[in-house]
Structure 1
């Protein structure tokens, strides 16, 4: 983005922080990806990369403002007493949580709908269930877990994008009401990482055109960038920065973004992303454990729990996430009066592995790992022209060393996923994507 565009984005974020709504801008017209294309601004997946690139540009300016405003908020030298923080109301609301859904073992993929549409302009081809099995992109391991991985190269017949690699995107067949209280858990042994690789584990509503139903990114990163936890909705909802600082004291955090969760790219509103503990995909892959996201009427908390520290309450399927402050990596407490009760619709679980495209492709030259591949000369970062795009050329190269990297790094290995809900919560409903047979909504 040009220097003028950076200034406009910074000004817009400052207005949001002050509680003002900026006038409609030409921000997307300055983005080659969305120039002149209104549909681009309304499609959820198409903007997953664009919004992260924009947030990264804003982060440095916002961090300086926030640190100057409240020293306690981001103090990293304080020793946290998690019992006291729980009493202060940090993290999850205490509740009697019960197992609502489980996906594991050989029946894992029967709990999901496969989506083949790609809206992120990637070097991947999402396969349906039968093709994914046939090409060995999904399956069960010898120790009882399941895998999802990047597979082989397939010719497309398109001279502008002659090859793509096999991959998958899955959405849960069910969706849950987050305001009733829900806890989503994934126990993993490995996550994909490396140059060109863009994996994600997230929640969304597919009954409405994005962002009307809400989207929450639990784990998402590209190349060697750190994971970013973000929430999107079509309504104003402010996060409480002082409560973030109080509850997350003692943790080394970075990656601050806007504190208003409203998302409207025409108005430079990018959703909310508080300061959080950030790790790269390589770190997660080498430190297996549990990702968990607790969502209730007061806010959202994300936890990462190492394998050797998984608490007994979770092992017994009687979780008490309000006691898990030690492992909190992101906390999104709502400022209650600013957040509508229908902030998000029923949330389905999504997991996918993308290659290049809106985030990993556009950010190729920012990545040290990408530059070491040697695919930085005689090509450029241009996902609109895949045959010239450095990331795409790398990901679809017929090179044994690159194939070896994908085999050894570009896969999920998962023991289980579970959803727990609070006592009295409404029953899960069939997800919109499942009811439509895997067809996403387009704006």
Structure 2
């Protein structure tokens, strides 16, 4: 083969390569428009994944939805009305949250949802924050949430949860929630009448603290469990690089697990979750004393951070925090680091 032949072949091969279109100065070749960065969504099985595993099929559950990076800004809705829990917050629209750098995606694909830590707010005023919820609604499933960091501290009330229509009748599932200087996570259900917490014959690691799930205006505690592991919430959670919260919701009941970063099961990393092989759940609510179909339906997933309000405000004086909750709102230094850093949230359904 002559040199001329080689040049001809090379020319043909180059002509068939895909064109790369980009904007000068952007090393990743990605086009960026206001309020919408076009970073790719990275799945656990992709080469860019921090786990660097191969996506595998099979297993008892199949992946339904996978939220990471930009999908939290585009496939979730920004709640921008008054806080239903009476918090000292101004929940921001999508455009405002991004413009104020309260919602953004880092280069590694981590999604950040932050509380305003730069504005001057009067004592008892309202500070900007973010609350988002899925556009999709869910009925049963296996839900996996991986967080690198979470907000915590005096006056703060962060939560990852799900809720149905016509609260409390559609139910509420609180997976990760706490207030002020709380050291461990609290897992709670809220429902309409005729639902109580019972374990049946299932062993759990957390302590049952209230059995009445029904929520009323005079008693909205719900039925909850208190974790004993300080890695499940706040500073202890952040110090170990965060971790995973998983909950399985089906006709038999609702089970929950917490895995510190170093203890995440291999099947989760391989995108083949099998709860039957996991360690003892931290919490369980049996369908024997709570009809799952009647009390939980059409749920949206929610992530938010409120300030003071019905829980953090009501317990502030007994929490060990200085001054008053109203004064804490005005102290912008109090909110340095008050942010969610989200790796991903995945929803699985039974592989029939």
TM-score (norm: length of structure 2): 0.75
Say which of 287, 299, 313 aligns to 1:361.
Answer: 313
The 5 Å alignment of 1:182-197 reads 182-197=141-156
Residue 237 of structure 2 contacts residue 260 of structure 2 at CA under 8 Å; is this kept in 1?
no
1:165 aligns with 2:127: yes
User: Which runs of structure 1 show a deviation greater than 6 angstroms over 4 or more consecutive aligned residues?
Assistant: none
State whether structure 2 residue 236 is matched by structure 1 residue 271. Answer: no
Task: Say if 2:173 is the partner of 1:216.
Answer: yes
Aligned twin of 2:61? 97
1:351-372 CA-partner distances (Å, limit 9, x unpaired) = 001111211111111112x13x
Instruction: Name which of 286, 307, 316 aligns with 1:333.
Output: 286
1:232 aligns with 2:190: yes
Distance 2:188 2:292 in 1: 18
The whole-number CA distance in structure 2 between the counterparts of 1:98 and 1:149 is: 32
SS at match of 2:126: strand
In structure 1, how many angstroms separate the alpha carbons of the residues matched to 2:191 and 2:87?
25
Helix, strand or coil at the partner of 1:342? helix
Counterpart of 1:149 in structure 2 is: 114
Structure 1 residue 135, shift from structure 2 partner: 0.4
**Could you say if the C-alpha distance between residues 127 and 275 of structure 1 is closer, same or farther in structure 2, counting changes exceeding 3 Å?**
closer
The Cα offsets for residues 29-60 of structure 1, whole Å up to 9 and x where unpaired, read as: xxxxxxxxxxxxxxxxxxxxxxxxxxxxxxxx
Relative to structure 1, is the Cα distance of residues 309 and 340 closer, same or farther in structure 2, using a 3 angstrom cutoff? closer
Whole-angstrom CA distance in 1 between matches of 2:62 and 2:186: 28
Q: Does 1:296 find its partner at 2:261? A: no
5+ residue gaps, structure 2, are: 1-58
Structure 2 counterpart SS, 1:195: coil
Instruction: Show structure 1 runs of 5+ residues with no match.
Output: 1-94, 376-389, 425-443
- SS of 2:97's partner is helix
Aligned-pair distance for 1:276? 4.5
How far 1:274 moved relative to its partner?
4.2
Q: Distance in 1 between matches of 2:215 and 2:185?
A: 20
Q: Answer whether contact 1:257 1:272 (CA < 8 A) is retained.
A: yes
The equivalent residue for 2:260 is 306
The residue number in structure 1 matching 2:297 is 345
2:162 is matched with which residue? 203
Matches within 5 A, 1:98-113: 98-113=62-77
**How far 1:203 moved relative to its partner?**
0.7
Contact 1:187 1:289 in 2 (8 A): yes
Q: 2:67 is paired with a residue of what secondary structure? A: strand
Shift of 1:422: 1.2
Q: 1:220–1:274: structure 2 CA closer, same or farther, 3 Å change rule?
A: closer
Across the aligned residues of Structure 1 and Structure 2, the Cα RMSD in angstroms comes to 2.3
Shift of 1:174: 0.5
Q: Could you list the per-position Cα deviations for residues 271-297 of structure 1 after superposition, in whole angstroms to 9, with x for gaps in the alignment?
A: 322464454422122231111111111
Displacement of 1:241 in angstroms is: 4.0
Instruction: Please list the CA deviations of residues 67-113 of structure 1 after superposition, one character each: whole Å capped at 9, or x if unmatched.
Output: xxxxxxxxxxxxxxxxxxxxxxxxxxxx8211111111233311100
Residue 410 to residue 270, structure 1, CA distance change in 2 (3 Å) = closer
Q: Which structure has the greater CA radius of gyration?
A: 2
1:202 Cα deviation after fit? 0.2
Match status 1:395 vs 2:320: no
Shift of residue 230 of structure 1?
0.9
